[in-house]
Amino acid sequence: MNKKKIFNDPIYGLIRFPFDSIYILIDHPYFQRLRRISQQALSHYVYPGALHTRFHHALGATHLMVKAIETLKAKGVEISDKEYEAVCIAILLHDIGHGPFSHALEHILTSTHHEKLSLIIMKRMSSELNMDFSLVFDIYTGNYHRKFLHQLVSGQIDTDRMDYLTRDSFYSGVAEGIIGYDRIITMMNVMDDELVIEEKGIYSIEKFLMARQLMYWQVYLHKTVVSAEIMLIAILQRARWLTQKGHDLAVSPALNYFLLLDLHTETQLSDQQLLDNYLQLDDVDILWLIKQSMRHEDFVFSTLCRNLINRKLLKVMTGNSPDNQYFFEAQRANFKQKYQLDNEEVAYFFKEVNENIKAYQFGQEEIKILLKTQQVLPYSHFNKNLSQSTDDHKFYFYYPAD
């Protein structure tokens, strides 16, 4: 009966998956938790429609994986049913380790990267469901000898990136993020067990890389989005400080566990209590804390919570100029004097942030282009305008004293 289940995706239409195991995993509580983890954190403060979740994204990426594998098989690439199923499971669960508000709170609640947590949670799921995930783990970590399967899960042109660019563009309404995912998948092939893109797809790759860079500056690192996320981080940092000082906050037991956790020590991934609490966390825990703390007696904490809820965000200046630095310092001094705060308290409201992106990864992980002569060359060979430098922006976030 599972094979008859379909999902109505607003982007791809009616989709279904070829393995019963996919549906079993989707029904698992750990995966259902992704319904309560936002895909784009607080991007909806700028783009009101950007309210989709990691659940949506995981299903979409898996759908694209099915299309990619079917395309490769149709071109004569031998892929066993076990490899097919394992790579679909790997992409389905690739974000299972994300915490509340996804990347916005990365390393704020725990010192461990979400990809490591994903692997630990996948191991627990395989044990609970009595499923053999050994091949899944090898593909996910890049240890499987057929490299193209890992590249489809985590590479410069993987199904993860293809879905999140397509999906985030759709929900935010930013047309610059639209990519030709169908054409890119159609142009995929395999040479020496590595993923390659046929020569006819080279302009689709160029559009993909350009769209990704535009989406970062226009959506993911939009100055107002970053401002909201800085306030969210500051709220959690202040909540940790208050909790460890013995203050009572309106927190769930799971969130309280992480507020008491020492981030300066390496998180013990084998700690079952840590994992149990982590799997109970989602956006709701954080939003409840913020909403219930708008009238807290601590000025810093209540001000941040109240202003984030009411979208009274930190102001921002861009550009690393002496004038900006002078203005920033003056605003900080005035704010400190007006509200009689110490340096640590003022720091919650004033941040200097450097954001950067690298549009393309050179070296061993380059996108490979398959010529009609069957020669394989790196994409950088065809695009001499590619830069190996990062694109940097400087932001000054401040709370106006007046």
Average of per-residue pLDDT values in the chain: 93
For the chain, helix (H) and strand (E) counts, in that order, are 17, 9
Q: What is the mean pLDDT of residues 114-122?
A: 90
- Enter the DSSP assignment of 146: -
Q: What is the mean pLDDT of residues 188-211?
A: 95
pLDDT bin (cut points 50, 70, 90) of residue 385 is confident
What confidence score (pLDDT) does residue 4 get? 67
- What's this model's pTM, rounded to 2 decimal places? 0.94
User: Whole-angstrom Cα distance, residue 331 to residue 105?
Assistant: 27
pLDDT bin (cut points 50, 70, 90) of residue 265 is low
Return the structure tokens found at 115. Answer: 């990809």
Nearest to 131 by CA among 69, 195, 63, 82: 82
Q: Is the pLDDT of residue 304 over 70?
A: yes
The per-residue pLDDT for range 140-175, each reduced to its tens digit, is 999 999 999 999 999 999 999 999 999 999 999 999
Q: What is the mean pLDDT of residues 189-211?
A: 95
Q: What is the mean pLDDT of residues 330-338?
A: 94
What confidence score (pLDDT) does residue 110 get? 84
Q: What percent of the chain has pLDDT over 90?
A: 83
Give the 3-state secondary structure of residue 28.
coil
Q: What is the mean pLDDT of residues 215-239?
A: 95
Q: What is the mean pLDDT of residues 44-62?
A: 97
312 phi and psi angles, rounded to 5 deg: -100, 85
The per-residue pLDDT for range 313-329, each reduced to its tens digit, is 999 999 889 999 999 99
pLDDT bin (cut points 50, 70, 90) of residue 272 is confident
pLDDT bin (cut points 50, 70, 90) of residue 8 is very high
Q: List domains and CATH numbers for the chain.
A: 2-220+358-389 (1.10.3210.10), 223-355 (1.20.1250.30)
Give the 3-state secondary structure of residue 381.
helix
What confidence score (pLDDT) does residue 38 get? 96
| DSSP letter for each residue of 77-144 | ----HHHHHHHHHHHHTTTTT--TTGGGGTTTS-SS-HHHHHHHHHHHHHHHTT---HHHHHHHHT-S
